Amino acid sequence: MRIMAIIFLFLQVGAAYAVEYGYTVRSTELKDAPFSDAKTLATLPEKTKVEIISRQGAWLQVKEQQQGWVRLLSLRTGEGRATGGDSGLKSLLNLGRSGNTGVTVATGVRGLSEADLKNARPNPQELEKLRQLTIHPAEAQKFAANAKLRAQQINYLPEPSQTEKTGSSNPASFGGER
């Protein structure tokens, strides 16, 4: 029975990865190339479900009635429900938790729940282990060079103006969107 459940889970995950869907979070221009000044093919209304084909930089190639490009951040992956679809990750994570409901204090299992953090006691041995892992900056530089990562000079982003922010900082919207 358990094996069947596991097989079923893997099928689910497989299906989730085979075709990826997304939906527009606002009215979005479908472009014929991954550039802002490319020709606009159509305007997709908010909550249009599209199939995601590929990514290039900040753009995703998508297919709805026709194929084109939309900005990565104007889409959310998943099925279009604000609560989020089940990607199978949840089940996989729960499988690893072997029936643990998250109320970890009662069972004596250590973890990172709210109560666990409030009752946490120092662990100097682990802290020492952590310190031993520390990397020298020169080693980090070598690690970056191995993958041809090139450091760039970029300014920090400005804080969005107050009027722009209201939509995302309204506490009421957090509960609603989860």
Partner 1 sequence: MRRLIILLLALSMPFQARAFQLDIGKIKSLVTNASQLREVDEKQEVEIGSGVASNLLGAAPLMPDAHVQKYVNQVGRWVAQQSERPNLDWHFGVLESNDVNAFATPGGYVFITKGLLLNMKSEAELAGVLAHEIGHVLKKHHLKAIQKNAQVGLLADALSIATQSSKNTEALNKIAGVGTELYARGLDKEDEFEADRIGVVLAARAGYDPYGLPLVLQTLANINPQDSALALMFKTHPAPTARLEALDKTMPVNLDKYATQPQLATRFVKTLELNQEKLK
Residues 80-109 that bind partner 1 (CB under 8 A): 82-87, 89-90, 93-94, 96-97, 100-102
Q: Measuring CA to CA, which residue among 2, 1, 71, 9 is closest to residue 34?
A: 71
- Which 119-178 residues touch partner 1, going by CB under 8 A? 120-124, 126-127, 129-131, 133-137, 139-141, 143-144, 147-160, 164-165, 167-169, 171, 173-174, 177-178
Among 73, 99, 108, 162, binds partner 1 (CB under 8 A): 73
Kindly state the smallest distance separating residue 58's Cβ from partner 1, in Å: 4
Q: Among residue numbers 17 through 36, which ones bind partner 1 (CB under 8 A)?
A: 25
The number of C-alpha atoms within 13 Å of 81 and in the hemisphere containing its C-beta is 5
User: Which pairing describes strands 67-71 and 20-24: parallel, antiparallel, or unpaired?
Assistant: unpaired
User: CA-CA distances (angstroms) from residue 26 to 23, 69, 70, 121, 134?
Assistant: 9, 15, 11, 47, 44
Minimum distance from residue 17 beta carbon to partner 1 (Å): 10
